[in-house]
Amino acid sequence: MLLNAETAAPVFDLGSLFAANISWLQVLITLIIALVIGFIIFFVYKSTFAGVMYSRNFNVSLIMLTLVTSVMLMLINNNLTLSLGMVGALSIVRFRTAVKDPIDTVFMFWAVGEGIAIGIKFYDVAFIAAIAIGAFLVIINMLKIKSVMPYLLIIHYTEEAAPVIKQFVAKYLPRHKLKSKTVQRGAMEMTLEVRVDDSDTAIVDKLLRIEGVMDATLISHHGDIVA
């Protein structure tokens, strides 16, 4: 607020009200902290990934998401006009990339949340949240590894071998779920969800010793399988 020299009346300077007082040092510190926390998210995602195909591009995008969000919040926090314009701009943006794994969405929200905390200078909150959430995900992943992992067992066999296959599954695979069964002329296919230890994967070799079994495949999977 300024004073008019002639009338001594207060004059509001809108330019000073909306000015963004951001120093280059603040920008540098914000980007460095965002980069450090982005790398924490990067390594946690890589070490806890349990999907079928690991995407390094998606993991790198988590770092970029943290950086971009921190810069956006830093600008919004210091400029009211820019904040209103950015809200309007983001309202018309449409992201059409499908996220197949729900945990990927969690990591994206984590990166955005860290960027928001860094952008508004809550550096202690950002670091504490990064360490706590990262440690929690690593611990959960370690507990999951120690547990019995699910597998898909796919068996192709002849119709004559069906009774023997049924007895074999009931004896050696008591914890199984039938996912699909396909019957063709002279051949059958059955997909089972089983839970076995890594040392018990020799179950496939035992299946091949049964007369009428053409092939057996054991595939590890994480999540639901749609038959």
Domain with 67, as residue range(s), is: 8-146
CA-CA distance, 76 to 27, in Å (whole number)? 13
Are both 166 and 209 inside the same structural domain?
yes
Burial class of 45 by CB neighbour count within 10 A (0 to 12, 13 to 18, 19+): buried
CA-CA distance, 202 to 211, in Å (whole number)? 17
Are both 129 and 24 inside the same structural domain?
yes
Question: How does 47-75 read in b/e, with b if 16+ C-beta sit within 10 Å?
Answer: ebbeeeeeeeebbebbbebbbbbbbbbbb
Q: What CATH number has the domain bearing residue 176?
A: 3.30.70.260
CA-CA distance, 217 to 19, in Å (whole number)? 65
Are both 132 and 194 inside the same structural domain?
no
Please say which residue of 146, 181, 200 terminates a domain: 146
pLDDT tens for each residue of the chain, 227 residues long: 444 555 555 544 444 444 456 788 888 999 999 999 999 999 999 988 876 677 888 889 999 999 988 888 887 776 666 655 665 555 555 556 666 777 888 899 999 999 989 988 899 999 999 999 999 999 988 876 555 567 888 888 888 888 888 888 888 887 788 888 888 887 889 888 887 765 566 777 888 888 888 888 888 765 544 44
Are both 97 and 206 inside the same structural domain?
no
Are both 142 and 153 inside the same structural domain?
no
φ/ψ (deg, to 5) at 97: -75, 120
Number of domains in the chain: 2
Inside any domain, residue 226: no
Inside any domain, residue 2: no
Are both 175 and 93 inside the same structural domain?
no
Are both 39 and 134 inside the same structural domain?
yes
Comparing C-alpha atoms, which of 27, 20, 121 is closest to residue 78? 20
Residues 6+ apart with CB under 8 A from 217: 152, 153, 154, 155, 204
φ/ψ (deg, to 5) at 181: -150, 125
Inside any domain, residue 227: no
